[in-house]
Amino acid sequence: MTDVDSDRPDLSGRAGGPALTKLHDAHARDLHRYLARRLNPAVADDLLAETFLVAWARRARYDPARGTARAWLFGIATNLSRQHARTEANTLRAMARDAGRAAVVESEDAASAARVDAGRAVRALADGLAALRPEERDVLLLVAWADLRPVEIAAALDLNVQTVRTHLHRARTKLRGRLDQGGEGA
């Protein structure tokens, strides 16, 4: 946790600009990494900028009592990435198709066989992520790629902590089932 989070900065009034600059410096890298993993680096660049534009526009509505500034920013980023859900789904489907094409190639070479197996695993993972409900996928990716805890995710997505845990459990169960099915067919 950074000093910026422990202070739960006042973003209203004149203090808002410098405080938001500090938040950018403290969290932009993690937000970009999360967005790039969810979408792609080009979209992540745009959504990172948009995240801070939205944060600036809504700075007066930030309530430190509801959670850390970090969680608030990840909530904004997640909501923006939801707006790009169709793009995300298309990307996951494209990954699955590409992995499927790679699996068709047969070779006795051990390295080629390993690539085919890896392609199958990527396809199963992409299919599994695409099959999750959006709220389950959001929670799972915030845990896996943003290292947020359930309490932070609850604040970020304006959910109850138990709801976050339920979404996380369901997402893991569904994904595990999909990956197990993919492994049996390989």
- pLDDT tens for each residue of 73-86: 999 999 998 887 66
What average pLDDT does this structure show over 48-61?
Answer: 91
Whether the predicted pLDDT of 141 surpasses 90: yes
Containing H/E element for 116? helix 110-131
What average pLDDT does this structure show over 94-115?
Answer: 59
Selected residue with higher pLDDT from 87 and 45? 45
Whether the predicted pLDDT of 176 surpasses 60: yes
DSSP 65-76: GG--HHHHHHHH
Share of the chain above pLDDT 70, in %: 75
**pLDDT confidence band for 2 (50 / 70 / 90):** very low
As a whole number of angstroms, the distance between CA 98 and CA 120 comes to 10
Q: Provide the CB-side half-sphere exposure for 141 (13 A, CA).
A: 30
What is the structure's pLDDT at 88? 62
Superfamily of segment(s) 3-83+132-185: PhyR, sigma-like (SL) domain (1.20.140.160)
**pLDDT confidence band for 25 (50 / 70 / 90):** very high
As a whole number of angstroms, the distance between CA 119 and CA 105 comes to 11
Domain layout of the chain by residue ranges: 3-83+132-185
Hey, what are 184's tokens? 């049996």
What average pLDDT does this structure show over 142-169?
Answer: 95
As a whole number of angstroms, the distance between CA 58 and CA 37 comes to 25
Q: In the predicted model, what is the mean pLDDT of the chain?
A: 81
Whether the predicted pLDDT of 178 surpasses 80: yes
What average pLDDT does this structure show over 115-120?
Answer: 67
